[in-house]
């Protein structure tokens, strides 16, 4: 279902695009690449000068290499367009500190703390928040939906969102082996 039609005339001012791709490497590891792109629909006056309509205000990338357990083995950031050249674009090397983290164990919280305020770029930090679920979706391409990654193991996605709580009708219907009854204990 799409959004309902708007009821007041309007014109678009800004477009933010976020894209995340998951890559399976020939060495058995995985690359997660994410890009954030901000573009204005009119010329945009910044303190650093005029940004012409359609020219990116932000164009930033991040890549993390992970293993099957979601451990970050390598990380790099790249910044192609920023509002304040010579300032914003100097923070990319700091994102190498992601190495050693795990995408599914406290990643978003740790990233927010590690790169809060002046210790990071708000746009790159926001972009990183997309990686955990995108990595899970990438790995889902390799594992049957109703099975865990190992025989007899509960599928990873169960008990990770409201629809897939093991007490729900959704789990009873699609994952009956893992259904645990309603919340009242029946």
Closest to 111 (Cα-Cα) out of 92, 126, 93, 90: 126
Domains of the chain: 14-142 (3.90.1010), 145-186 (no CATH)
Q: What is the pLDDT of residues 41-68, one digit of tens each?
A: 999 999 999 999 999 999 999 999 999 9
| pLDDT value at residue 143 | 64
| pLDDT value at residue 186 | 46
DSSP letters, 31-61, are EEEEEEEEEESS-EEETTEEE-TTS-SEEEE
Report the length, in residues, of the chain: 186
Tokens representing 85 are 């050249």
Query: Cα(147)–Cα(52) distance, rounded to whole angstroms?
Result: 51
Instruction: Return the residue matching tokens 């309007």.
Output: 10
Closest to 155 (Cα-Cα) out of 168, 173, 138, 140: 140
Residue numbers in the chain where pLDDT is lower than 50: 186
3-state secondary structure of 79: strand
Q: What's the pTM?
A: 0.83
DSSP letters, 113-140, are HHT-GGGS-HHHHHHHTTHHHHHHHHHH
| pLDDT value at residue 160 | 80
Query: Cα(94)–Cα(163) distance, rounded to whole angstroms?
Result: 37
Query: Cα(111)–Cα(124) distance, rounded to whole angstroms?
Result: 10
| pLDDT value at residue 161 | 84
């Amino acid at each position: 279902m799409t959004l309902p039609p708007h009821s007041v005339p309007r014109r678009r001012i800004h477009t933010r695009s976020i894209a995340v791709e998951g890559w399976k490497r020939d060495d058995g590891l995985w690359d997660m690449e994410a890009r954030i792109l901000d573009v204005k629909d009119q010329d945009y006056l910044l303190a650093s000068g005029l940004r012409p309509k359609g020219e990116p205000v932000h164009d930033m990338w991040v890549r993390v290499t992970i293993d099957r357990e979601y451990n970050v083995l390598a990380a790099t950031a790249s910044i192609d367009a920023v509002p304040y050249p010579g300032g914003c674009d100097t923070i990319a090397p700091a994102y190498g500190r992601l190495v050693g983290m795990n995408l599914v164990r406290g990643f978003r919280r740790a990233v927010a703390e590690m790169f809060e305020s002046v210790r990071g770029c708000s746009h790159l930090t926001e972009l990183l928040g997309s990686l955990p679920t995108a990595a899970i979706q990438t790995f889902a391409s390799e594992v049957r939906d109703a099975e865990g990654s190992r025989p007899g193991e509960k599928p990873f996605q169960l008990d990770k969102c409201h629809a897939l709580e093991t007490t729900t009708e959704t789990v009873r219907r699609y994952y009956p082996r893992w259904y645990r009854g309603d919340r009242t204990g029946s």
